[in-house]
Chain A
Amino acid sequence: MQRRTLLTGAAALALARPALAAAPPKILFWHAMNGVLGDELNKLIARFNSSQKTVEVVGVFKGGYPETLTAAIAAWRAGQAPHLVQVFDVGTGSMVAAGKAVKDLWQLVRETGAPIRPANYIASVRGYYSLPDGKMASMPFNSSTAVMWYNQDAFEKAGLDPAKPPATWPEVVAAASQIALKQAAKYAITTSWPTWIHFEQFAAIHNLPYATASDGFKGLDARLLIDHPAFVANLQRLLDMAKAGTFKYAGRDNLPDPLFYSGQAAITFNSSAARGALVKSAKFRFAEAYLPYDPQVIKKPTNSIIGGASLWTMTAPRRTHAEYKAVAAFLRFLGEPQQDAEWAAATGYVPVTFAGAALLKKRGFFEKNPGTELPIFQLERLPVTDNSRGIRLGNMAQLRVIIEEEWEKALGGQQNAKQALTAAVERGNAVLRNFERSMAG
């Protein structure tokens, strides 16, 4: 039975072969976008497919970011890698080290002559996905940054000015006590993405190194530096606030989102891309503000870094030049201002190109949606330093979890901030050495 099916299949394949050769090359694109984001991505793909006749892009939703990355790696090992895969920010280190499994963007551009120019991308986006020599390794796509969201109704109720959010950490602490005192919300403050925001972003805007070797950009021998007193003081502040009842640690990743969306928390830290969900579900006035800084560490904060994902071109045995050309054509299309602007407007991600941002401005998008330009301003604060380009470490997903685990142990009263970060550095460095070893030989 099975053999017969196989035989028929083989025969059909043999017959179909000439037809296949004539058909446009199919570009397989694995991504992790579902829901609203998936719909918007499918629209982009459909528009590209109908805009020309020579290439057909097939988008496949492969699950969450980790699943998509794992699936792509397994597929590559089996010689079946997709042409394009969407890899989240923390997977960048693994992909940069992936050698012949990927074709870096600059390489693709050189081989195909596609007009994709790094200078079109805003510095903090370009930097995150570039190699130390400035060549781009992957194609920026969905990028956001972290901001502070606050509930303006709760601010008013607490007697705070809803038009003037706190700008520094001491001001945040004061506002939190005020909110708690007036019982303007169940929780004064919470946060989503604990490590990304309170360590990675914190390091960037305070111009503090996160790890040696320029945050890992310059080599696999990087060691974590997050036991620096500034990080310890920041974590201790959050722990103290938790003890005082003004800060609610509500889990990792985006688990704490509902606390702010439902109005239970007056202030939260989250991705700027949370806007879409807030517009849809928040029954209160809300606004976004710059990430607060610690005036004892820096007087004028530097740029924040991005989060999100980028697109990587993967290799496979017998993949033809025509196929790579097709991939480049699709990437070039995605980088056009029109696409960049519409994707950003529809999703809440920031435009990644200057032209895309300019187009949104011309259309009056930022005026109609106050606050949406703020993440871009925060990303464009200059100059981008070695500490604010991004973080390029192996197994970064694991590092994030380690920091969160130690943070949670501290919240449970088992250790203070200093001990937590000493432990996190020790465990994190073990992970980094392990990664370094796996790349040797």
Chain B
Amino acid sequence: MERRTIFGGWLLPAALVLPQVAVTVVFFLLPAAEAIYSSVTATDAFGLHIRFVAAANFAALFADKGYLGALGRTAVFCALVTALSLVLGLLLAVFADREIRGRTLYRTLLIWPYAVAPAVAAVLWVFMMHPEVGLIGRLLNRAGIDWDYTLNGAQAMALVVVAGAWTQVSYNFVFFLAGLQSIPRAVIEAARIDGARGFRRFRTIVLPLLMPTTLFLLIVNLVYAAFETFGTIMALTRGGPGQATETMVVKVYRDGVINLDLSGSSAQSVILMLLVVGLAALQFRFLGRRTLA
């Protein structure tokens, strides 16, 4: 049953929609247009010399080993963060879905990390993992493991992946738990009567029924890993050591804001924008408009 409100004229509906449209125009369409414009021009920071260069900025990017490196690094980073946070989120949700004492408490505690700001979370990780001041970092070194993420690229990557995934686990947990609870008990009971036990029941019944949730979370997590981990990475490693943790957003910021290369940075933003548009298209294609969002 569809419910519709019928407006007499077009003035009131237009007025009601206007704020949202205005926000979209000011905060999305105009900056995006500006980025596209800068990406096809060559300009100095002050905008004194502006020349149209067509796709030269993009060509330069794809000829740049540094950029291709960032592209590959971002792919690896996003895949790891997404996989880690999805698996942990699902695991925790499955356990919290059981009839155990104090499960409300567990559930609440598991949601908490999501409320921690990225910079604050990063500081917590520093206090744990820093080779000089970190609790665990010092223990590792004392145990003879050469732990120093400020110099070892692989360790730095591992650290930002774990720190990035950590807050996202809570988010996934909430959605997986909701997904689990929406699976009709009758289906589970029927499977149980048919003799499907434990993991088999999970794999053949629960997991397929969770698929829409999983697909939705997959997209959301990929976008999260690509964009929102910026704060975590900047606070933990600033993209270093070397360029070991410099993902695409970090590079956009560094090239645009620090290095004042607006054209190159804009071209990178446009590429990022296309990637997100692609992901969003995938989401609509596979999930239709009836997603949990």
Question: Residue-by-residue, is A338-369 near B (CB-CB < 8 Å gives 1, otherwise 0)?
Answer: 00000000000000000000000000000000
Closest residue to B49 on the A side, CB-wise? Answer: A441
Q: Are B45 and A73 in contact (CB under 8 A)?
A: yes
Q: How far is the CB of A229 from chain B (nearest CB, A)?
A: 24
Q: How far is the CB of A175 from chain B (nearest CB, A)?
A: 23
Question: Residue-by-residue, is A48-82 near B (CB-CB < 8 Å gives 1, otherwise 0)?
Answer: 00000000000000000011011001001100000
A59 to B243, CA, bound (A): 37
Q: Which of A98, A414, A427 contacts B48 (CB 8 A)?
A: A98
Q: Are B259 and A397 in contact (CB under 8 A)?
A: yes
CB-CB under 8 A for A412 and B242, given A94-B45, A97-B44: yes
The reply on B51 being an interface residue by CB < 8 A is yes
Contact partners of A439 in chain B: CB under 8 A: 44, 49
A139 to B256, CA, bound (A): 27
Q: How far is the CB of B151 from chain A (nearest CB, A)?
A: 5
CB-CB under 8 A for A251 and B150, given A397-B259, A405-B243, A439-B44: yes
A412 to B151, CA, bound (A): 6
The reply on B99 being an interface residue by CB < 8 A is no
Q: Are A438 and B49 in contact (CB under 8 A)?
A: yes
Q: Are A438 and B258 in contact (CB under 8 A)?
A: no
Q: How far is the CB of B59 from chain A (nearest CB, A)?
A: 13
A240 to B258, CA, bound (A): 32
Q: How far is the CB of A124 from chain B (nearest CB, A)?
A: 26
Most buried by B among A100, A409, A430, A438: A438
Closest residue to B257 on the A side, CB-wise? Answer: A70
Q: Are B46 and A397 in contact (CB under 8 A)?
A: no
Q: Which of B42, B64, B150, B254 contacts A441 (CB 8 A)?
A: B42
Question: Residue-by-residue, is B49-82 near A (CB-CB < 8 Å gives 1, otherwise 0)?
Answer: 1010000000010001010000000000000000
Q: How far is the CB of B245 from chain A (nearest CB, A)?
A: 11
Q: How far is the CB of A397 from chain B (nearest CB, A)?
A: 6
The reply on A398 being an interface residue by CB < 8 A is yes
CB-CB under 8 A for A411 and B151, given A70-B257, A70-B260, A438-B49: yes
A405 to B49, CA, bound (A): 31
Q: Are A434 and B264 in contact (CB under 8 A)?
A: yes
The reply on A395 being an interface residue by CB < 8 A is yes
Q: Are B261 and A395 in contact (CB under 8 A)?
A: yes
The reply on A15 being an interface residue by CB < 8 A is no
The reply on A135 being an interface residue by CB < 8 A is no
The reply on B47 being an interface residue by CB < 8 A is yes
Q: Are B259 and A405 in contact (CB under 8 A)?
A: no
Closest residue to B155 on the A side, CB-wise? Answer: A412
The reply on B179 being an interface residue by CB < 8 A is no
Sample (20) of A-B pairs whose CB atoms are under 8 Å apart? A66-B257, A66-B258, A77-B46, A94-B260, A97-B44, A98-B44, A98-B48, A99-B46, A101-B46, A397-B259, A411-B241, A412-B152, A412-B153, A412-B241, A438-B49, A438-B261, A438-B263, A439-B49, A440-B42, A440-B51
| Interfacial residues, chain A to chain B (CB-CB below 8 A) | 66-67, 69-70, 73, 76-77, 94, 97-101, 249-252, 395, 397-398, 401, 404-406, 408-409, 411-412, 414, 427, 430-431, 434-435, 437-441
